[in-house]
């Protein structure tokens, strides 16, 4: 007889069934161990978050910073637009800051609307700013999965 046939073969169901052999605790044979209860841990009030919690806190803080930057850029653009009009270089610089903020927040529709307003002005009056607006529009088209348009705009931007 082989060793395999001499050994007792158990099924998975038999292995899960409590028996005195598989439920022994140290000190008391044949007694199943008590289930462990949740261990309460107290975190000191001044403790810094670590690991995944710290990343979530940082992400929340970063998001708040980005939203604050958007509010500031929007207020700056409104102020410049009211004071100088849309065709002033300072207003166009404020538009670029607004576009940067919107692309970070994935606000593609307002970005597209603003670009449609300022690109003709930049092309006509400010050839030094025009490539930056074309680059923003090309990146916007890329984000919109309009790759052919994006590629053609990037080609326009090249000198």
Taking only the tens place, the pLDDT of each residue in 11-49 is 555 555 556 555 555 555 555 555 555 555 454 555 555
Asked, for residue 54, whether it belongs to a domain, the answer is: no
CA atoms within 13 A on the CB side of 117: 15
Asked, for residue 44, whether it belongs to a domain, the answer is: no
The domain total for the chain is 1
Structure tokens of 72? 């500031």
CB 49 within 8 A of CB 57: yes
Q: Which domain holds residue 115?
A: 67-157
CA gap 16, 11 in Å, rounded: 9
Asked, for residue 126, whether it belongs to a domain, the answer is: yes
Asked, for residue 29, whether it belongs to a domain, the answer is: no
Asked, for residue 74, whether it belongs to a domain, the answer is: yes
List per-residue pLDDT tens for the chain, 159 residues long: 555 555 555 555 555 555 655 555 555 555 555 555 555 545 455 555 556 555 656 667 788 888 999 999 999 999 999 999 999 999 999 999 999 999 989 999 999 999 999 999 999 999 999 999 999 999 999 999 999 999 999 887 655
Asked, for residue 28, whether it belongs to a domain, the answer is: no
Asked, for residue 33, whether it belongs to a domain, the answer is: no
Q: In this structure, is the dihedral angle defined by the CA atoms of residues 140, 91, 128 and 66, taken in order, positive or negative? A: negative
Residue 134, number of CB atoms within 10 A of its CB: 20
Asked, for residue 9, whether it belongs to a domain, the answer is: no
């Amino acid at each position: 007889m082989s060793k395999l046939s001499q050994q007792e073969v158990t099924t998975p169901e038999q292995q899960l069934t409590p028996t005195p052999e598989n439920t022994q605790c140290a000190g008391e044979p044949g007694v199943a161990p008590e289930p462990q209860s949740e261990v309460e841990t107290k975190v000191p009030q001044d403790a810094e978050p670590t690991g995944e919690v710290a990343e979530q806190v940082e992400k929340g803080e970063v998001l708040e910073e980005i939203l604050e930057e958007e509010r500031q850029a929007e207020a700056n653009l409104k102020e410049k637009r009211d004071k100088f009009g849309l065709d002033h270089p300072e207003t166009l610089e404020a538009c670029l800051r607004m576009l940067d903020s919107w692309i970070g927040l994935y606000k593609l529709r307002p970005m597209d609307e603003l670009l449609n307003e300022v690109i003709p002005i930049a092309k006509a009056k400010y050839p030094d700013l025009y490539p930056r607006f074309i680059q923003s529009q090309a990146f916007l088209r890329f984000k919109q999965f309009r790759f052919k348009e994006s590629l053609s705009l990037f080609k326009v931007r090249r000198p």
